[in-house]
Amino acid sequence: MQLPAHGANAATLYKALNLDMPERVIDVSENVNHLGPPPQVQRQWPNLLEKITSYPNEQAEPFRSQISNIHQVAAQHIVVTNGAAEGLMALAQLFREQHVALLQPSFSEYSRTLKQQNCTIHTILAEDISEYRFNDESLEKQILNADACYICNPNNPTGVLLKKQWIEQLLAKHCHCYFVVDEAFMDWTDESESIVPLIHAYPNLFVLRSMTKMYALAGVRLGYIIGQQADKLHNFLPHWNVSAIAVELGCLCIKEKDYVAESREINSRLRTKMMAELRLIGFEVSNSKSNFILFRLPNKFDPDEFFAYLLKCGIVLRHTKNYSGLDGKWFRIAVKSEGIWKECKEKIMNYVKNH
């Protein structure tokens, strides 16, 4: 049975499991900001019609220059991409047929894109999932034999935020190895652990960023990569890879500081509540700092039965069958609204009480 490799595929998931899909479904398998796009995007949307007829700037200007100012890095060290997914495809081509270490569990697209380029993948599995901690000795050995190493921070699917100092120690010690740090969910934090400032000191560093999660632009596709050697990635991208509408929306979104602050505050408050209540029910819960939480049922429960029960109730969690080291025993749930969490918790508690 092949389940969808990502969240936000509710209809496909029900079909794969041969389940009737309820009329009303609450999809907490995807982790896009539930507030929707920023107000300014909604106000300006009718004015974007004129952008349809014109070719976009090849360097995605003026979005690239504005990002350059925000992150205080040179514009030539930024490549704007059609979502972070296109950036991962370009990086995989850069590392073609090389040895790549992946800190796992992590986003499944790393492995998928690297396999397409005949890379040899070395899995480094966390010894503590809920805290996303690694055995340093094992980690060091694996990186010594790698040409590149991928780190997701905050991690997807655990939501754990790794320390910038820890990542910098790896960068400094392993100059032979490229490090790809995926910060797609970093804007849900206060950014203090972002390693973008380290770009100036480490030519072996690439940082991925996404506009999708915070700004609810999943359907638009906009992301970027920062790195001293980012120019190399242009060789693997088409001309006009980012639409004029995406560029315009990106420029609007990065000015929405109040929207970001409000989103973070709402998310942090509800996430803390959800984590506490999941633990009270008896689940093991990840130390998430992002807009989703990973949790595991006590051993007495059947994960597949639990997953199917919630689907029949119209609650769609993110399965973890395609995450290394999780094997379907854990579930990821997005932090949305108080009302959504209330409905999800009610169904979860009903299952626990009756099984």
Q: Which domain holds residue 226?
A: 39-253
CA distance linking residue 143 with residue 146, whole number of Å: 5
The two tokens of residue 282 are 């008896």
The two tokens of residue 92 are 């995989």
pLDDT for the residue numbered 94: 97
Please list the alpha-helical segments (H only) found in 27-96.
39-44, 63-71, 83-94
The reply to whether 137 falls in a domain is yes
11 contacts: CB under 8 Å, gap ≥ 6: 21
The two tokens of residue 264 are 């973070």
Same domain, 329 and 239: no
Asked if residues 291 and 267 have their Cβ atoms less than 8 Å apart, the reply is yes
Same domain, 232 and 293: no
Q: What is the CATH number of the domain that holds 340?
A: 3.90.1150.10
Hey, which residues does 292 pair with through a beta bridge?
A: 334
Number of domains in the chain: 2
Please list the alpha-helical segments (H only) found in 254-337.
257-281, 303-312
DSSP type of residue 318: B
Same domain, 176 and 249: yes
The reply to whether 324 falls in a domain is yes
pLDDT tens, per residue, the chain with 355 residues: 566 555 567 888 888 888 888 989 999 999 999 999 999 998 998 888 888 888 999 999 999 999 999 999 999 999 999 999 999 999 999 999 999 999 999 998 999 999 999 999 999 999 999 999 999 888 999 999 999 999 999 999 999 999 999 999 999 999 999 999 999 999 999 999 999 999 999 999 999 999 999 999 999 999 999 999 999 999 999 999 999 999 999 999 999 999 999 999 999 999 999 999 999 999 999 999 999 999 999 988 999 999 999 999 999 999 998 898 898 899 999 999 999 999 999 999 999 998 8
The reply to whether 102 falls in a domain is yes
Cβ neighbours around 295 below 10 Å, total: 21
Same domain, 156 and 20: no
State the residue for tokens 């508690």. 349
Among candidate residues 253, 273, 293, the one where a domain is terminated: 253
SS3 content of the chain, % helix, strand, coil (to 5): 45, 15, 40
Q: Long-range pairs for 73-77 at CB < 8 Å and ≥24 separation?
A: 73/196, 73/199, 73/200, 73/226, 76/230, 76/231, 77/199, 77/226, 77/227, 77/228, 77/230, 77/231
pLDDT for the residue numbered 14: 84
CA distance linking residue 233 with residue 236, whole number of Å: 6
The reply to whether 4 falls in a domain is no
R_g of the chain, CA atoms, integer Å:
20
The two tokens of residue 60 are 């995605």
Same domain, 174 and 216: yes
Q: What is the CATH number of the domain that holds 83?
A: 3.40.640.10
CA distance linking residue 305 with residue 302, whole number of Å: 5
pLDDT for the residue numbered 18: 85
CA distance linking residue 147 with residue 95, whole number of Å: 8
Same domain, 333 and 205: no
pLDDT for the residue numbered 2: 64
CA distance linking residue 317 with residue 295, whole number of Å: 11
Among candidate residues 253, 275, 294, the one where a domain is terminated: 253
The reply to whether 178 falls in a domain is yes
Alpha carbon distances (Å) from 171 to 132, 152, 263: 19, 15, 32
- Peptide bond preceding 154 in cis form (omega within 30 of 0): yes
DSSP type of residue 235: G
Same domain, 244 and 267: no
- SS3 state of residue 226: strand
The reply to whether 295 falls in a domain is yes
Same domain, 138 and 160: yes
DSSP type of residue 162: P
Same domain, 209 and 181: yes
Same domain, 205 and 165: yes
CA distance linking residue 112 with residue 118, whole number of Å: 10
Among candidate residues 232, 253, 274, the one where a domain is terminated: 253
Same domain, 152 and 58: yes
Residues in the chain: 355
The reply to whether 3 falls in a domain is no
Asked if residues 129 and 158 have their Cβ atoms less than 8 Å apart, the reply is yes
Same domain, 178 and 203: yes
The reply to whether 226 falls in a domain is yes
pLDDT for the residue numbered 13: 84
Say if pTM beats, i.e. exceeds, 0.85. Answer: yes
